[in-house]
Amino acid sequence: MQVAAKSAGTKRKSVSLGPAHAPTRERILDEAERLIVTKGVFGFTLKDISDPLEVRVPAIYKHYESRDDVLVAVSRRFITLLSEQFSYAPEALAQPLRTLQQVVEEFARVHLAHPAYVRLSLIDFATPEGGMEYIRLAAGGPFRANLTAGPLAPMYRRIRMLLEAGAKSGDFREIAAVDFYRVVKSVLLLRLVFPDDLLSTSPAKAASQRNVERMLWDTALRHVTARL
């Protein structure tokens, strides 16, 4: 299908919306992610998304009702990815310390690889009420509600089982999974933006990535082994 972009004072040519150039839902989200990283969650418009795709803003409305709808859809990508974190084979529970290190470092790598999700998470944490909490909306409710029945419940269950295995083996102290996740998540988000914004350079340099992985593992290890 050919769509002619006609407007007084513009030189935009007709744009083919064939398979290679169609403003698909995924391409719109890809561009939104890029803009979140470079301009921030509130620093871009739908026109900023449409221009690189060589379409007009109304074309985006065929897929999403609003800019906020786009951001919620981006957040759903994050929720899907997040739900897969802290994964391990059943036999890995026999080595809880080693397994925890592997999944914690992978958790850091995933956030470094998806900086837009970090910025969206920070917006959620800064919006307790009355604002647009994109990740909360994408997940279908607040984090605690998702621990037992929502899309993040499988992740939470894996964390709980791993921590219980470590406590049983004597490697870890007894600790609630939600407390462990709260510490790991908050420390990671803060480190990625302060004192240096590691999100603006994507992909992150190998040395920076390794430093973040080590920092997060050191934090997690201290938390699960501290004797109170």
In the prediction, which pLDDT does 3 show?
Answer: 37
Q: For residue 210, count other CB atoms closer than 10 A to its CB.
A: 14
Per-residue pLDDT band for 132 (boundaries 50, 70, 90) equals: low
Can you read off the two tokens belonging to residue 29? 């989200």
Domain ranges of the chain: 15-64, 78-225
Is residue 13 predicted with pLDDT exceeding 50? no
The DSSP output letter for 218 is H
Residue type (1 letter), 147: L
Per-residue pLDDT band for 227 (boundaries 50, 70, 90) equals: low
The predicted model gives 12-36 an average pLDDT of 68
Max avg pLDDT among 61-65, 103-107, 135-139: 103-107
CATH topology of domain 15-64: Arc Repressor Mutant, subunit A (1.10.10)
Q: Burial, 66: exposed, middle or buried (Cβ in 10 Å; 0-12, 13-18, 19+)?
A: exposed
CA–chain centroid gap for 17, Å, is: 30
Report pLDDT digits (tens) over 139-194.
877 767 777 788 889 999 999 999 999 999 999 999 999 999 999 999 999 999 99
Report pLDDT digits (tens) over 146-155.
777 888 899 9
Per-residue pLDDT band for 129 (boundaries 50, 70, 90) equals: low
Residues 53 and 62: beta-carbon distance below 8 Å: no
* The architecture CATH gives domain 78-225: Orthogonal Bundle (1.10)
Length of the chain: 228
